[in-house]
Structure 1
């Protein structure tokens, strides 16, 4: 099962951005979305091409005095196969990674 939780977030932020995050400093949420509900200003065309009709998006949000960080991991709602990760800083996409391997996409 694909799930991006507090532990993953606490590892991702310092390794990718050098920001140490404590377990009680952020919130988590998961939501089911239809493909057309994904914000095309935040999710690239490349990522939209691999998205099925319904996705499960796991979110972790962290705010400090200067910035709001939002890390989202989308997975196929039917299979839980991870698709992509997007990181937003103050509402702007600053990092994305395709998690779906080519051989997974061919199934």
Structure 2
């Protein structure tokens, strides 16, 4: 099962960017979207191509005095299989990662 929460977000921010986050200051939200509702400014063609018709997006947001950070993890709405992660800093995509392994995609 895929679930991305403030604890995962804090670990990701420390490992990826060297930023320590207070989990209590992180906002969380999950939303179910149709594939065509994914924002093409943030979801590359590669990420779009591995997305099923329904995608569950888990997002965490953190604001400090300088920046707004948003990390979204997409999973298959039917299977909860993690698909990809996208990180935005001040509404600009700065990182993306495919989480779906090739052997998972072949099943």
TM-score bin, normalised by smaller chain: over 0.9
Q: Deviations over 1:34-84 (max 9, x none)?
A: 001010011111100000000000000000111100000000000000000
Matched with 1:73 is 73
CA apart distance, 1:17? 0.6
Name the SS of the counterpart of 2:2 in structure 1: coil
Matched with 1:39 is 39
Q: Aligned partners of 1:29 and 1:47: how far apart in 2?
A: 20
Matched with 2:10 is 10
Q: Aligned partners of 2:93 and 2:36: how far apart in 1?
A: 18
**How many aligned residue pairs are there?**
107
Matched with 2:20 is 20
RMSD (CA atoms): 0.6
Name the SS of the counterpart of 1:36 in structure 2: helix
Name the SS of the counterpart of 1:24 in structure 2: helix
In structure 2, stretches of 5+ residues that fail to align are none
Instruction: Give TM-score, length-normalised by structure 2.
Output: 0.98
Name the SS of the counterpart of 2:23 in structure 1: coil
In structure 1, stretches of 5+ residues that fail to align are none
Runs of 4+ in structure 1 off by over 6 angstroms are none
Instruction: Give TM-score, length-normalised by structure 1.
Output: 0.98
